[in-house]
Amino acid sequence: MEKLNTVEEILFEIARTLEFCRNDPTFPGSIAYKTVATGYIKARCMRRGIEMELIEWKGGEKEVVGGDWYEIPSLLLDLSKRIEAKHGRVKSFAGQFSPHNVLTLQAKGPDGVLGEWSLVFSAEEAAKARQEPLELVAQADDVSGIPVGIVGGLQDLNGWLRNRLFPLKPKAAIPVKFWKISDPVVLWSALQYLYGYLLKPYDYDDSALPPLPAGYTTVCTIFHAFEEIDNEGVETAIENLGSEYCDALVAELRRVGLAQLGDSFNMAWKAHPEGTKPDSTAFDAIVTKLHEEIDDEVTLDAIHRYVGGHAQLFERE
């Protein structure tokens, strides 16, 4: 996300996101219930980021709980850093967005309220924020240099990012050439889904994929392991991936500057030898460590630096 310089800019983006949530067409059947409702958000500030507790719409035809957060966690994290620089640690946020588009937000610390803000949101200003030069969008749509066999897959991935995961971001900020994405969170999401979108045109047969530049092997090896952990947990992921995967994964993590995370994966495999149950005490400790390191901003930044700094590894050779 582009750097926002003031609290007011962050509040505007939070309000813009909530206004989008209120009218989100991807949440079928709920728009009529939300249009005259007040939206409530709650979030906790954890050591490694923001944990959303709820988004809820009350006062309309029907209460609606849930829906996508979109960029609200990232915006609150950005706001918390600005508050902490002046007032100390932020423990939680609570806010509401009225039917008249007034956002109020409160930040609490260990000893009480750190700050309260109010912003009247303007739909006209939001419309201006969505405008972007067509030439920049055309540049972001450029597919020159991408291996022909995966152009369609990367375009489909790009559509998923632009239209579903980050619908409030300018299209020009999410190029088809994902290695040019400047926002590390958006890039991370692109890499999470990359392997599946590469395989989809080939009926998910990895042997049918054409030879690709080396960068794809690096990021797909890493993020396939992350996906297995997200879906199955560390123990089942290790069993599914097999012992041979460990060496390849560790090598690729070291390549992108994450040697410590590679060592943690090595330890996880050693604590869970193939064909045997893991030593529960040792394995539980390394599982906790793995989750913390994967979710750490150090990992996010290292992936972003590597991919963004090695464009030649993703272009046609």
Which pLDDT tens digits describe the chain residue by residue (317 residues)?
345 568 999 999 999 999 988 887 666 667 788 889 999 999 999 877 899 999 999 998 888 887 788 889 989 999 999 999 889 999 999 999 999 999 999 999 999 999 999 999 987 877 777 778 899 999 999 999 999 999 999 999 999 999 989 988 999 999 999 999 999 999 999 999 999 999 999 999 989 999 999 999 999 999 999 999 999 999 999 999 998 999 999 999 999 999 999 999 999 998 887 767 777 888 889 999 999 999 888 999 999 999 999 999 999 76
Q: CATH second-level architecture of 134-313?
A: Up-down Bundle (1.20)
Backbone angles phi, psi at 278, to 5 degrees: -70, 155
For residues 142 and 175, the answer to whether their CB atoms sit within 8 Å is yes
DSSP annotation string for 172-189: GGS-SSGGG---HHHHHH
pLDDT for position 28: 61
Angle at 141 between CA 216 and CA 202, to 5 degrees: 45
For residues 72 and 42, the answer to whether their CB atoms sit within 8 Å is no
pLDDT for position 114: 95
pLDDT for position 317: 60
Backbone angles phi, psi at 41, to 5 degrees: -130, 145
What are the extents of the domains in the chain? 7-128, 134-313
Looking at 3.30.500, 2.70.70, 3.40.50, 3.30.420, the CATH number of the domain 7-128 comes to: 3.30.500
pLDDT for position 27: 63
pLDDT tens per residue across span 49-97? 899 999 999 998 888 887 788 889 989 999 999 999 889 999 999 999 9
- In Å, how far are 151, 192, 291 from 230, measured between CA atoms? 27, 11, 10
DSSP 277: -
Q: How many of the other CB atoms lie within 10 Å of CB of 8?
A: 11
pLDDT for position 29: 64
Backbone angles phi, psi at 36, to 5 degrees: -110, 20
